[in-house]
Structure 1
Amino acid sequence: MTFIGRVDDLEQLNDCYKARRAQLVFVYGRRRVGKTATLVRFSQDKETIFFAAQNATKEEQLASFSRLMFEAGAPGKDYLSQYPSWERALSELVKLPEPADGSRRLVVFDEFPYLVKSDPSLPSVLQNLWDHTLRDANLMIVICGSAMSFMEKELLAEKSPLYGRATGVLRINPMPYWDAVRFLPDYSAEDKALAYAILGGIPRYLEEFDPDMSVAENVKRHILRRIAPLYSEVEFLLHEELRETAKYNSVIRAIALGATSLNEIATHTMMPGATVSSYLGNLMELGIVEREFPVTAKLKELAKGTRGLYQLSDNFFRFWYAFVFPYRSELERGDVDGVYERHIEPVLHDFAGKPFEGICREWLWRESIAGRLPFRARAVGRWWDRKDEIDVMAVDATGSKSIVGECKFRNTAMDGGVLNLLRARAARTGIEPQLSVLFSLGGFDRGLSDMAAAEPSSLRLVGIDDLFREVNTR
């Protein structure tokens, strides 16, 4: 399968590889996000020991790693069947033969938390060897893991033996929409937006869709059928990462149904607020839930968190809890067509409205980075108060300049009334917008088009094709 995207991630890893001194790089991210595929791609043209750890005993792990070391020419192969300890195994890294081309040897430990689970002393062993020998070797060591809270709290935190040793820390995030939809190159722009609204930027999910099938066919075949991996993906992932999955289901379901404040979620789930807060924290660490603040919020507001709203940051989780979880009885009996035709097809465009707003915000970020906006954005997000909401808003570093936008994922042309409403809402923010941007699936009426032609510096119209115009040229 063709490797897609991750240009910036690969560039940063290669910069580390080319650095003069030894490298100890930590790579992490949620499950299915594409860490292993990215590291495999990165290691393609390099002398590499790529150790994919399993959930196994210390002895089994050492046996597997020993085989890789011996195949790479480690001197222990002449008198050992396997290394007796991780200290002995890792100390032999400096004795490996130098690559023939004089380059640096790359050592990748994929799913490193499994190794620590089988031998909790491993971080201390690695820290001691790094301090005394490995940091002076011609090596790049990559520590990779999916257990995000473990990577952040146990390996990178101040209490960890490896604290301060990292020469690089790279979090692999879900793909931006313009890379994600390259998995479906022949889809129309509208169908690309729908597919992204359903699957998000997780490569493992995107790979499940057949690019030769329609959105409807893919949903029915690859999500709604009991045999499909995506049908049970959410439950598998929660069981892998969390205990008390029934309670987490309740929390996620509440958010999917529109409960966004802590009080609303606690009321919906009938759980104490402190308990819900703890569950939400774990879900945020997994990249499933995010806490959103108005883009104009000051540091004091962020610290208090009084205006923060909880959202599902993962599009596929949002789709699954909206359309699979509630209709499991019908789907278990094979009524795939009925569930799609009755419950999904009539509201799919409405469902895609929120992810479409996310696409528009990502587009605005890209325009800012490319220097195609009146200023460089410090933040891009939503704005709201008790009465109004703005779908897309960017602010500069001073907080005195803004760009505001409205998004409509409907097959009807947008008219001037939308612009008037947007500008009225913008006035409530207290920041005079330098540019208004309208995003529309159904295009724009003649009045708006004429207005944009007359006011190019203050009004910009972005149709669905404009959002995807650069996708296949990146």
Structure 2
Amino acid sequence: MVFIGREHDLQQLDECYHSRKSQLVFVYGRRRVGKTETLTHFSRGKETLFFAAQNATREEQLASFSRLMFEAGAPGKDYLRQYPTWESALTELSKLPEPSNGERRLVVFDEFPYLVKADPSLPSILQNLWDHTLRNANIMIIICGSSMSFIEKELLAEKSPLYGRATGILKMNPMPYWDAVKFFPDYSNEEKALAYAILGGIPRYLEEFDPDEPVDVNIKKHILRRIAPLYSEVEFLLHEELRETARYNSVIRAIALGDTSLNEIATHAMLSNGTVSSYLSSLMELGIVEREFPVTAKLKEQAKGTRGLYQLSDNFFRFWYSFVFPYRSELEHGDAISVYERRIAPVLHDFAGKPFEEICREWLWRESIADRLPFHAARIGRWWNRTDEIDVMAVDDSGGHAIAGECKFRNTPMDMGMLNLLRRRAANIGVDDTNCYLFSLSGFDSALADITDPTVRLIGIDELFQ
């Protein structure tokens, strides 16, 4: 499998590696986001001690780590069968032979939270050794984990022994759409957008689709069949991370069906607002749900949470709860083709509408960074009030310049009526200098294509995927 994307993450890790100082870097992110693959790719060509921790006892973990250390030439191999403590094991990191290439040694602890679970004293041990020995060694240590809340609250927070020791903190996010679609080089741009709408930017999910098969075949073969890993992926991940999965199912299903306010979700799930709020916090920590505010909302307004809406930030979860979860009885009996033809195919483009808006927002960020917008964007998101909604909106620092965008993932061209509707909605924002951007899967009719207004820009699907 060819390694795809992550250029910016790899560049930042490489800058740490070639820094003059010893490095203690934390890399974390949700499960399946590609942390291990990225670190494996980063370690190529470097003398690396890569320890993939297991959910095992302290003694079993020490035994595995000891074998790696002894193979790397640690002095303890001459008089020990294995290290008795983590302190004795980590102390010998600074005594490993110098790399033959003259560079620094790389040490990776993958799934570090498993080690701390078996020995809660480990962060204190590492902190003490870092302060007195390891920070002066020719070494780069990477602490990696999938439990985002544990990394943030137990290892990086002020109460942690390791607080303030990190020389780098890299939170790995799902791939942007322009990297995700590299898994399907021969797809049309429409097919790429559909694949991204279904799978999102999670490499583990993208790898499941066969790039030589069309989208509909991949859905039937790699999501709707009981033998397919993606068929049971959502339940597996929830059982691994959470308790009371039945209640979490109700909460996620409510959001997938369009209930986005706390009251709506609580009503659908038949739970109290307080209980649902707690579940939503856990889902946000896992990177499955995000809380969204109008792009013009002030920080004070966001703190109060008066207008915040909840969305599924994971495209595959949204697809699974829309088309697998409700039709499990049919799918369990092997009726995948019928479920696709009757339940999915007629509404697939409608389903892809929201992910298409996300693609357009990511495109705006990329254009802003490259200075190809009328101004440099400070915030990009959605905008809404009691009566109107704008799919995509960018504003500058001053709040005096804005871009309002309308997105349509449909098989018909956009027309002047859509531009006029967007202009009416944009007039309610309260920003005098507003440009209108129209994003369309199927292009624009002749009247719209011939428009010469410099404040209007038309962006077709091909431009989004250039």
> Do both proteins adopt the same fold according to a TM-score greater than 0.5, normalized to the shorter chain?
yes
Q: Residue 344 in 1 paired to residue 370 in 2? A: no
Q: Residue 305 in 1 paired to residue 305 in 2? A: yes
- Contact (CA 8 Å) 1:426, 1:433: kept in 2 or not? no
In structure 2, what residue type is equivalent to 1:460? R
Q: Residue 20 in 1 paired to residue 20 in 2? A: yes
Shift of 1:152: 0.7
State the alpha-carbon separation in 2 of the partners of residues 338 and 415 from structure 1.
35
Residue aligning to 1:208: 208
Q: Residue 397 in 1 paired to residue 397 in 2? A: yes
The correspondence of residues 52-201 of structure 1 with structure 2, limited to 5 A, is: 52-201=52-201
In structure 1, what residue type is equivalent to 2:268? H
In structure 2, what residue type is equivalent to 1:462? I
Q: 3-state SS of the aligned residue for 2:170?
A: strand
Q: 3-state SS of the aligned residue for 1:428?
A: coil
In structure 2, what residue type is equivalent to 1:121? S
Shift of 1:264: 0.8
Q: Residue 285 in 1 paired to residue 282 in 2? A: no
In structure 2, what residue type is equivalent to 1:232? S
Residue aligning to 2:43: 43
**C-alpha distance after superposition, 1:350-369 (max 9, x if no partner):** 00000000000000110000
In structure 2, what residue type is equivalent to 1:368? S
Residue aligning to 1:254: 254
- Contact (CA 8 Å) 1:426, 1:432: kept in 2 or not? no
State the alpha-carbon separation in 2 of the partners of residues 237 and 399 from structure 1.
41
In structure 2, what residue type is equivalent to 1:466? E
Q: Residue 466 in 1 paired to residue 463 in 2? A: yes
Q: 3-state SS of the aligned residue for 2:310?
A: strand
Residue aligning to 1:416: 416
Q: Normalised by the size of structure 1, how large is the TM-score?
A: 0.98
**C-alpha distance after superposition, 1:182-206 (max 9, x if no partner):** 0011000000000000000000000
**C-alpha distance after superposition, 1:67-87 (max 9, x if no partner):** 111111111111111111100
State the alpha-carbon separation in 2 of the partners of residues 250 and 182 from structure 1.
34
Any unmatched runs of 5+ in structure 2? none
The correspondence of residues 229-378 of structure 1 with structure 2, limited to 5 A, is: 229-378=229-378
Residue aligning to 2:442: 442
- Contact (CA 8 Å) 2:363, 2:464: kept in 1 or not? yes
Any unmatched runs of 5+ in structure 1? 470-474
- Contact (CA 8 Å) 1:27, 1:171: kept in 2 or not? yes
In structure 1, what residue type is equivalent to 2:149? S
In structure 1, what residue type is equivalent to 2:306? T
State the alpha-carbon separation in 2 of the partners of residues 45 and 242 from structure 1.
38
**C-alpha distance after superposition, 1:221-245 (max 9, x if no partner):** 0000000000000000001100111
**RMSD of aligned residue pairs (Cα, Å):** 0.6
In structure 2, what residue type is equivalent to 1:244? E
- Contact (CA 8 Å) 2:262, 2:277: kept in 1 or not? yes
- Contact (CA 8 Å) 1:438, 1:462: kept in 2 or not? yes
Shift of 1:434: 3.6
Shift of 1:102: 1.4
In structure 2, what residue type is equivalent to 1:461? L
State the alpha-carbon separation in 2 of the partners of residues 66 and 432 from structure 1.
66
Q: Residue 221 in 1 paired to residue 221 in 2? A: yes
Number of corresponding residues:
466
Shift of 1:401: 0.8
- Contact (CA 8 Å) 1:51, 1:110: kept in 2 or not? yes
State the alpha-carbon separation in 1 of the partners of residues 100 and 255 from structure 2.
55
Shift of 1:336: 0.5
Residue aligning to 1:472: none
In structure 2, what residue type is equivalent to 1:379? R
- Contact (CA 8 Å) 2:426, 2:434: kept in 1 or not? no
- Contact (CA 8 Å) 1:110, 1:143: kept in 2 or not? yes
Shift of 1:432: 2.4
State the alpha-carbon separation in 2 of the partners of residues 110 and 20 from structure 1.
24
State the alpha-carbon separation in 1 of the partners of residues 432 and 335 from structure 2.
53
State the alpha-carbon separation in 2 of the partners of residues 223 and 200 from structure 1.
14
In structure 2, what residue type is equivalent to 1:391? D
State the alpha-carbon separation in 1 of the partners of residues 398 and 64 from structure 2.
55
State the alpha-carbon separation in 2 of the partners of residues 352 and 210 from structure 1.
20
**C-alpha distance after superposition, 1:320-351 (max 9, x if no partner):** 00000000000000000010000000000000
In structure 2, what residue type is equivalent to 1:346? P
In structure 2, what residue type is equivalent to 1:262? L
Shift of 1:435: 1.9
Shift of 1:433: 4.0
State the alpha-carbon separation in 2 of the partners of residues 101 and 366 from structure 1.
38
State the alpha-carbon separation in 2 of the partners of residues 45 and 367 from structure 1.
34
Residue aligning to 2:430: 430
- Contact (CA 8 Å) 1:404, 1:433: kept in 2 or not? no
Q: Residue 33 in 1 paired to residue 30 in 2? A: no
Shift of 1:458: 1.1
Shift of 1:399: 1.2
State the alpha-carbon separation in 1 of the partners of residues 128 and 188 from structure 2.
55
Q: 3-state SS of the aligned residue for 1:438?
A: strand
State the alpha-carbon separation in 1 of the partners of residues 100 and 256 from structure 2.
55
State the alpha-carbon separation in 2 of the partners of residues 267 and 386 from structure 1.
20
State the alpha-carbon separation in 2 of the partners of residues 218 and 192 from structure 1.
13
Shift of 1:146: 0.1
- Contact (CA 8 Å) 1:414, 1:444: kept in 2 or not? yes
The percent of aligned pairs where both chains have the same amino acid is 78
In structure 1, what residue type is equivalent to 2:48? T
